[in-house]
Chain A
Amino acid sequence: MTESEFRRHGWRLLAAWAVLIVLMLASLGSAYVPLGRGNVAVGLAIALAKAGIVAALFMGLARAPALLRVVGCFALGTLLLLIGLSGIDYATRAVAPAPFQGSLR
């Protein structure tokens, strides 16, 4: 890493950190605004943006070779697929708590 590359990278990391903190505060603030189901959507969208910044800049995925990016995308894709398939199962199943679970409180 040359001197100018190091400097540029350092400033990029600092800027990314500042954006992450601002996004965290935005996420906190949005939780106190009544948006119904929008609250969880905003919270998760901000979390996704924060995770994207960490993966792209801190973990270096933005400058990584294609194979590493493929591994990252494959993990995310597989996770979403498994969540989707599990969701179909649970969404179509009636809740039948065992006796020891009582009211499930």
Chain B
Amino acid sequence: MNTRALALHDEGFTARLGMWVFLASEVMFFGGIFVTYAYGRSHWPQGFAEAGRHTHVVIGTVNTALLLTSSAVVAFASACAQHARMRRWTGRLLWLTAAFGAAFLALKGVEYAKEWQEGLVPGAGFVLATPGAQLFSMLYFFATGLHALHLAIGIALVGAMAWGAGRRRAWADAEAVEMGALYWHFVDIVWIFLYPLIYLLGRHA
């Protein structure tokens, strides 16, 4: 693309393009986990199914609903930021999004604590004997931990936007809110794929 072609687009487009390229690189980052999972599940199906049955499906489902709802809320916040009459709602909706994210992390913490007590953390005290079960558990903690780290960054980002939008700061304009929302949606999409692979396997047995 030459300079003239670039000049035809506004700054907002350039920012969105940059964000999409960043998210594309993040897709590759998480992709490795999914390949490892596919390898483990195809080689040790019984172990994966048994360990999958021991995950807390109610907490996982509630957390999925929380993230899906937070995505809808942040999308609405982004729309409000682009609409003069509704702009004052942007900050409040972003705070609500961050609260949903914080609730997700709190529930995840409860889940980790339960797993610690039940001996489902990989190591000497691991309770499941089926080959592959511990590998599933390792992948579970790595994948959900990495996702939680991304979500924590998202909460900080959206929280900062909420603070800025509430005070009408120039750096928290509609464009910046949209960038934050794009990142949030990406974190949601990662969880959308983790949910069936972690919580829904081996349930009917």
Contact = CB atoms under 8 A, between A and B. Distances in A.
B79 A9 contact: yes
Interface string A46-58: 1100110011011
Contact of B47 (A50, A79, A82, A105): A105
B28 A40 contact: no
Interface of B: 13, 16-17, 20-21, 23-24, 27-28, 31, 34-35, 38-39, 43-44, 47, 57, 61, 64-65, 68-69, 71-72, 74-76, 79, 82-83, 85-86, 126, 128-135, 181-182, 185, 188-189, 192-193, 195-197, 199-201, 203-205
Given A24-B65, A28-B61, A83-B31, A105 B131 contact: yes
Contact of B13 (A50, A65, A75): A65
B195 A27 contact: yes
A88 B71 CA distance: 36
Interface string A27-62: 110111111000110011011001100110111000
B192 to A, nearest CB: 5
Contact of B200 (A20, A28, A95): A28
Contacts of B75: 13, 57-58
Given A44-B196, A103-B131, A87 B38 contact: yes
Given A27-B200, A105-B128, A54 B192 contact: yes
Interface of A: 1, 3, 6, 9-10, 13-14, 16-17, 20-21, 24, 27-28, 30-35, 39-40, 43-44, 46-47, 50-51, 54-55, 57-59, 64-65, 67-68, 71-72, 74-76, 78-79, 82-83, 86-87, 90, 95, 103-105
A79 B27 contact: yes
A57 B76 CA distance: 11
B17 A51 contact: no
Contacts of A30: 200
Main secondary structure of the interface of B (DSSP, over half): helix
11 contacts: A6-B79, A31-B199, A34-B204, A40-B201, A54-B188, A55-B185, A59-B182, A74-B24, A78-B24, A105-B128, A105-B134
